[in-house]
Amino acid sequence: MHTRKGVALAITIVVVGIQAGLSEINRASFPKGFVFGTASAAFQYEGAVKEDGRGPTIWDTFSGIIIDGSNADVAVDQYHRYVEDIQLMKDMGMDAYRFSIAWSRIFPYGTGEINQAGVDHYNNLINALLAKGIEPYVTLYHWDLPQALEDKYIGWLDRRIIKDFALYAETCFEKFGDRVKNWIIFNEPHTFTVQGYYSGYEAPGRCSSLLCKVGNSTTEPYIVAHNVLLSYATVADSYRRNYKEKQNGSIGISLDVKWYEPVTNATENIEATQRAQDFQLGWFLDPLIFGDYPSSMRSRVGNRLPTFTESESALLKGSLDFVGINHYTTYYASENATNSIFDLLNDCVSDANAFAIPFQDGKPIGDKANSIWLYIVPYGMRSVMKYIKEKYGNPLVIITENGMDDPNNLLTPIKDALKDEKRIKYHTDYLTNLLAAIEEDGCNVKGYFVWSLLDNWEWVAGFTSRFGLYFVDYNDNLKRYPKNSVKWFKNFLSSARS
């Protein structure tokens, strides 16, 4: 196999050059006003699923496989412990906290009567953050659709959800927008679209395979994505017309982005790598920047890909104040072999005709974290930032998630689990590449959020995966213990601003 020696050499030069400054990087290295924070999601953190009028969500009822058989009924109990957790952020010197609002705490049935207890909870959380000098960054949808709307009209598959989501979003703007200045309307629509409606691995667990009782992997992901984009456009338009000027806030979206490297210099693999990115980042960012899906999607998906009207396209185009990027890892990409079974499937993965894996000639692309999908490739951060700058006109970017996990090994003593030097190196290396993207490449990045403040319930991985800066003892009243990475971030953030 012909390897990309030129690219590999260039990467080596960049990495070696960056390594020289590793010991010096700190808050003062970054531009004035750059925001550092941690990120979370309501379903993974809050618990209290049957308290204070909260309605059930599709994740409460999801019947798929959770590796350890756990659920998020208690999670890490932040619903009751947010004051304690905010103090942990303050002690580290974090500027901001990204959390999500549970739609079913505001509207237990997705629409209808407002649940005041839910409003009160988030008011208390927001006020407690601000009292400690921590800026709230609020995600409106982090995968926890009210079950009532799934039952009523199959949720995101029906255009009626656009109106119901807009009502929920506008209610949040009205109730919290006087204090919340940064809104992330959706988190990772690509993930919940593909995993929820193509593979069935995540809620609501729809797909064409035997894994699912119902679904259509060839059409449903595209329909869901389309309705999500139209919901975003509707909410963005409402915010700009009715709230932005008086509340002085900004709105955006968080998109999951792997970086892809062509496995060889062959033209077909370079083209496949671009398609892989089109069917990931481009699927959502192209409509929000340019008003339509990537041309590769239009040509390959055909009439299974919905179309935007002229007015919808105009509403989408330029509707972002910032782009949130959740970046963790990098894979190699190549064209699928001809006559592959994948060519016959006509679904949102095979449509791209791009095969992505983290191996080349049997060798991994980087050191592996605990998650099966997470390989540590720091230069991918810089590559993603440069790609967004060059393709999309250098929009304002916030890294809304970045981090790595260790295994939840029940045989490891807590004192040893707190020694997370691998995590420290991960953040050092990724932040160094991010800084190079800002200073050397001119990328417009203003913030970085660590996933995550605490070990938490990680969707299908349950409690088997530990992403936290703080260790949570699931066997002793969910006590929080600072890992070594907490001390590292505290030192990093205590440096004087430039």
pLDDT digits (tens, 9 = 90+) for 158-193: 999 999 999 999 999 999 999 999 999 999 999 999
pLDDT at 5: 38
The distance of Cα 44 from the centroid of its chain, to the nearest Å, equals 13
In a domain, residue 1? The reply is no
Q: CATH no. for residue 474?
A: 3.20.20.80
In a domain, residue 3? The reply is no
What Å distances lie between residue 385 and 135, 175, 181, 358, CA to CA?
Answer: 24, 34, 24, 20
In a domain, residue 14? The reply is no
Q: Please, which residues have CB within 8 angstroms of residue 153's CB and are 6 or more apart in sequence?
A: 160, 161
In a domain, residue 9? The reply is no
pLDDT at 185: 99
Of these residues, 188, 202, 261, 312, which one is catalytic? 188
In a domain, residue 7? The reply is no
Per the structure, how many domains does the chain have? 1
Is 458 noted as a catalytic residue in this protein?
A: no
Banded pLDDT at 336 (limits 50, 70, 90): confident
Q: Characterize the bridge pairing of strands 367-368 and 375-376.
A: antiparallel
Kindly report, residue by residue over 405-416, the tens digit of the pLDDT.
999 999 999 999
What phi, psi does 328 have (nearest 5°)?
A: -130, -35
In a domain, residue 20? The reply is no
In a domain, residue 16? The reply is no
Is 390 noted as a catalytic residue in this protein?
A: no
More confident call, 341 vs 125: 125
- Residue 99's domain comprises 27-494
Nearest to 254 by CA among 95, 468, 40: 40
In a domain, residue 47? The reply is yes
- 221: its two tokens: 């992901």
Is the pLDDT reported for residue 12 higher than 50?
Answer: no
Kindly report, residue by residue over 193-208, the tens digit of the pLDDT.
999 999 999 999 999 9
Mean pLDDT value across residues 222-241: 98
Mean pLDDT value across residues 150-163: 98
Residue % of the chain over a pLDDT of 70: 93
Of these residues, 135, 261, 401, 458, which one is catalytic? 401
